[in-house]
């Protein structure tokens, strides 16, 4: 790899960057069905930098790994996440998500985001997160007990419930059967609701329209606000010894000022963790079991490892180093279907990189979904091959993919299912452990056979989900 050239002598004008041709109505329908696949096709056809028409603002799909590294990490302060026009002024930029999540870590920008991340980062220390392992396994086991042999059901709905149970237990220390969890369940719509307009140039307008989905979502959000603010008040009056994430957030102190997070800041971070936590995990587990259901030979290897390591008991955090293939299965599923499938940034100033000029206020799209299908760094990119992630496997000339994802000399950001740099998902360790623990627990006694064609339509604005869910038949392992 070569270093990115961010100040070339004669950068190519913006107009020289490839632009897709006019789109027919039939093509537009296909794009709407699966936007990540469309962007992958743009990269394959037009190269590593493509100008994508998005209303009045230029948007650029960036797939050059050197430039990605520069935008996301090295020159990250020259970009920010407020990539949507929200006002008439030249500097009125923001996010429609902010109207829902507030200024949590997903939506906040600039110095405020850096302060919040610095304060909250210790809450997600590996040792603290490891303490939630038992809860992950227990909740997944409870879900497993509800499956019936030979029954057909929507697996995505089941994983939504499972993920919601995990996040409400760890964030608020309430069970899925509690009144609070039931209120949260009824409040949030499936498949994103109005959040699906986050990437739309008209997102702000659409969110304000008196549409039934908007009204329902706002009523639900009011319910969740009442629940969260009630929990904040309850914990402020309590002894302060809780170990759920909300209780820990109450103890966070700014080292410079000695201040704690305000009720509004606590609310914004709690809502963000709640939304991001169950949205990402439900989709990731659904895609993982779809892949396992269509690759029985890989499923058998997974079951063999689980049987050897666990027998008939639940997994613990101490088992994770031995569940190497299980972790590799989940990691490979995240490669093919990364929950944060696109990272959006706005150029705060004119930016020149590798011969291209990108004007100030342009929107840059870095798509893990697209990068994870780059044939240079991911041979046979559409193949589901968990062995890519077996770092300490013995080399096998007959299988060049073995350990390939962990090999030396690869771009640092060839694999970024949770983003990277100063805006990397703060709960990435939490999410990986949660997924592997759930996968090991459910697979002890069950396998799931997908019914019908592959899920071709995806919900791809907030996180990557199979639109309409995934129908499966449950089979108890003998």
Establish whether 170 is a catalytic residue.
no
Please say if the pLDDT value at position 242 is more than 70: yes
Q: What per-residue confidence (pLDDT) applies to 148?
A: 97
CATH 3.40.50.300 for domain 108-337+422-478, yes or no, is no
Q: What per-residue confidence (pLDDT) applies to 125?
A: 86
Establish whether 6 is a catalytic residue.
no
Catalytic residue among 280, 286, 326, 463: 280
pLDDT tens, position by position, 108-119 = 888 999 999 999
pLDDT tens, position by position, 4-59 = 555 545 555 666 888 888 777 777 777 878 889 999 999 999 999 999 877 667 78
Domain coordinates in residue numbering, the chain: 1-94+341-416, 108-337+422-478
* Residue 206: pLDDT band with limits 50, 70, 90: low
Q: What per-residue confidence (pLDDT) applies to 6?
A: 52
Establish whether 65 is a catalytic residue.
no
Alpha-carbon gap, residue 57 to 87, rounded angstroms: 14
Q: Work out the average pLDDT over 457-464.
A: 78
Q: What per-residue confidence (pLDDT) applies to 11?
A: 56
pLDDT tens, position by position, 262-315 = 999 999 999 889 888 888 999 999 999 999 999 999 999 999 999 999 998 999
Catalytic residue among 60, 188, 326, 425: 425
Q: Work out the average pLDDT over 434-450.
A: 97
| Residue 303 contacts residue 476 (beta carbons within 8 Å) | no
Q: What per-residue confidence (pLDDT) applies to 379?
A: 95
HEC readout, the chain: CCCCCCCCCCCECHHHCCCCCCCCHHHHHHHHHCHHHHHHHHHHHHCCEEEEEECCEEEEEECCHHHHHHHHHHCHHHEECCCEECCCCCCCEECCCHHHHCCCCCCCCHHHHHHHHHHHHHHHCHHHHHCCHHHHHHHHHHHHCCCCCCCEEEHHHHHHHHHHHHHHHHHHCCCCCCHHHHHHHHHCCHHHHHHHHCCCCCHHHHHHCCCHHHHHHHHHHHHHHHHHHHHHHHHHHCCCCCCCHHHHHHCCECCCCCCECCHHHHHHHHHHHHHHHHHHHHHHHHHHHHHHHCCHHHHHHHHHHHHHHHCCCCCCHHHHHHCHHHHHHHHHHHHHCCCCCCEEEEECCCEEECCEEECCCCEEEECHHHHCCCCCCCCCCCCCCHHHHCCCCCCCCCCCCCCHHHCCCCCCCCCCECECHHHCCCCHHHHHHHHHHHHHHHCCCEEEEECCCCCCCEECCCCCEECCCCEEEEEECC
Burial state string for 229-249 with b = 16 or more CB within 10 A and e = fewer than 16: eebbeebeeeeeebebbbbbb
Catalytic residue among 384, 418, 430, 448: 418
* Residue 84: pLDDT band with limits 50, 70, 90: low
- pTM comes to 0.91
Alpha-carbon gap, residue 213 to 224, rounded angstroms: 16
Please say if the pLDDT value at position 451 is more than 60: yes
Please say if the pLDDT value at position 2 is more than 50: no
Quick one: which of 433, 427, 413, 462 has its CA closest to 117? 427
Q: How far is CA 246 from CA 116, 280, 425, 430, in A?
A: 15, 19, 18, 15
CATH class entry, domain 1-94+341-416: alpha beta
Whose tokens are 């026009």? That residue is 85
- Mean of all residue pLDDT scores within the chain: 87
pLDDT tens, position by position, 394-424 = 778 889 899 999 888 899 899 999 999 999 9
């Amino acid at each position: 790899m070569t270093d990115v050239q961010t100040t070339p002598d004669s950068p190519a004008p913006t107009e020289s960057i490839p632009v897709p041709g006019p789109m027919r109505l039939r093509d537009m329908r296909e794009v709407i069905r699966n936007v990540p696949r469309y962007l992958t096709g743009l990269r394959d056809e037009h190269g590593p930098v493509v100008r994508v028409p998005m209303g009045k603002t230029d948007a650029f799909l960036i797939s050059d790994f050197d430039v990605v590294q520069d935008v996301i990490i090295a020159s990250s302060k020259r970009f920010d996440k407020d990539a949507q026009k929200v006002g008439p002024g030249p500097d009125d930029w923001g996010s429609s998500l902010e109207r829902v999540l507030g200024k949590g870590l997903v939506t906040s920008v600039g110095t405020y985001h850096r302060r919040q991340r610095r304060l909250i980062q210790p809450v997600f220390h590996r040792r603290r997160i490891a303490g939630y392992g038992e809860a992950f396994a227990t909740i997944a086991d409870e879900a497993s007990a509800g499956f019936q042999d030979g029954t057909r059901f929507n697996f995505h709905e089941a994983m939504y419930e499972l993920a919601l149970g995990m996040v409400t237990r760890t964030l608020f220390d309430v069970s899925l059967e509690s009144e609070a969890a039931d209120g949260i369940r009824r409040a949030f719509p499936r498949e994103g609701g109005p959040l699906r307009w986050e990437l739309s140039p008209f997102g702000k307008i659409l969110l304000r329209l008196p549409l039934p989905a908007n009204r329902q979502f706002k009523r639900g959000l009011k319910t969740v606000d009442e629940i969260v603010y009630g929990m904040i008040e309850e914990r402020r009056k309590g002894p302060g010894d809780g170990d759920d994430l909300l209780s820990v957030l109450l103890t966070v102190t700014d080292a410079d000022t000695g201040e704690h997070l305000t009720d509004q800041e606590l609310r914004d971070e709690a809502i963000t963790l709640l939304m991001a936590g169950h949205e990402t995990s439900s989709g990731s587990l659904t895609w993982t079991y779809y892949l396992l259901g269509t690759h029985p030979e890989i499923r058998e290897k997974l079951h063999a490892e689980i049987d050897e390591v666990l027998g008939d008991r639940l997994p613990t955090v101490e088992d994770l180093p031995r569940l190497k293939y299980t972790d590799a299965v989940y990691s490979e599923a995240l490669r093919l279907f990364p929950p944060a499938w696109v990272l959006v940034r706005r150029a705060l100033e004119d930016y020149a990189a590798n011969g291209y000029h990108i004007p100030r206020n342009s929107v840059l799209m870095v798509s893990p979904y697209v990068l994870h299908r780059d044939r240079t760094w991911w041979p046979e990119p559409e193949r589901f091959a968990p062995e890519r992630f077996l770092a300490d496997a013995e080399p096998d000339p007959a299988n060049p993919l073995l350990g390939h994802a962990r090999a030396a000399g690869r771009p640092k950001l060839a694999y970024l299912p949770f983003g990277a740099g100063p805006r990397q998902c703060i709960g990435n360790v939490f999410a990986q452990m949660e997924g592997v623990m759930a996968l090991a627990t459910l697979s002890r006694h069950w396998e799931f056979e997908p019914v019908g064609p592959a899920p071709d339509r995806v919900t791809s604005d907030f996180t990557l989900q199979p639109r309409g869910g995934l129908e499966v038949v449950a089979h108890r392992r003998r």
